[in-house]
Structure 1
């Protein structure tokens, strides 16, 4: 397993080291020691999965505010997605900037998103299933978001947007969101 730092502080791509033979393959998907050495959390409070139908479907950009701010570790278990983190941390030199990693079930890679970042993704296959690890339980009263289509974000989604929830379409623009 390798943690590949991205150019937003605390954001990593997690790449697997596969061991294969005639029976198939094995890869470690999480290692507390590797995460601790990088200064990342090793305790997950909640794990979830989402299945998204329809190539080009867009979900996000979502976050939780303190005291339930959460870091996330996200991996595709089926299909491929363009997975994106948006830095919303007050005082961060990359505030308002986003970075994306294509998550692919076959590659087994993951994205680690630190607290203070919003998360969203677009499906690149007809069906995509994601597995999420969260450092804090879901708290609906502390949930927020940024409209993924806000032109100020400059996000170049790889496909035309085929489907987006009514709720996500009406999330506020970046300029209307208080930093985290």
Structure 2
């Protein structure tokens, strides 16, 4: 993707009259492209109704929490938001359609914000996470913040209380809670060793 540290992965889907098959993650291929293997410390799944928006979430770096995101049922639009102060793409976001047809995945490296919008009822999303959830190191920005100007594709999204009451990008930045771009690059470089 055009945001450094964000990747769209498109597997080869093989099909026959029985159904289909795809390799969603291969450690050697991933490591060759990203520069290090993905340490899987936690696997999360969530089920969402149509027009649910979850995000914008990220964790302190180091260690951060990289995510390898796939859709197991239904369809969603996955969003990566560059929240790294000093990044040439700070404040920019990109989106990828994840569904059960193309079976794409998105890799969100440490320091990047993440969110998604469910396009169908009972959409199931899986996250392979590089670090366990730690509520003292996890942060959120209001997904409808006008400064981010994310086009979620829905005018009245369903939000959790946490997301609905989240601070703005400006407030989080003023509080010094956004990740530093150089620190994120240094941490990711340490994973190569």
User: Per the alignment, in what secondary structure is the counterpart of residue 168 of structure 1?
Assistant: helix
Q: For residues 1-180 of structure 1, what are the structure 2 equivalents within 5 Å?
A: 6-38=1-33, 39-53=35-49, 55-177=50-172, 178-180=177-179
Contact 1:77-1:105 within 8 A present in 2 as well: yes
1:72·1:133 contact (CA, 8 Å) conserved in 2?
yes
Q: Give how far 1:19 is off.
A: 1.9
RMSD, aligned CA: 1.3
> Structure 1: any 5+ residue segments left out of the alignment?
1-5
Partner-residue secondary structure (3-state), 1:140: coil
Length-normalised TM-score, structure 2:
0.85
Q: Deviations over 1:4-57 (max 9, x none)?
A: xx100011111110122233222111111111111143221111100112x211
Higher strand share: 1
Normalised TM-score (structure 1): 0.91
Gaps of 5+ in 2: 180-193
More helix by share: 2
Number of positions where the alignment pairs a residue of Structure 1 with one of Structure 2: 174
Does the C-alpha gap of structure 1 residues 40 and 176 become closer, same or farther in structure 2, counting only changes over 3 Å? farther
Partners of 1:89 and 1:19 in 2: how far apart?
38
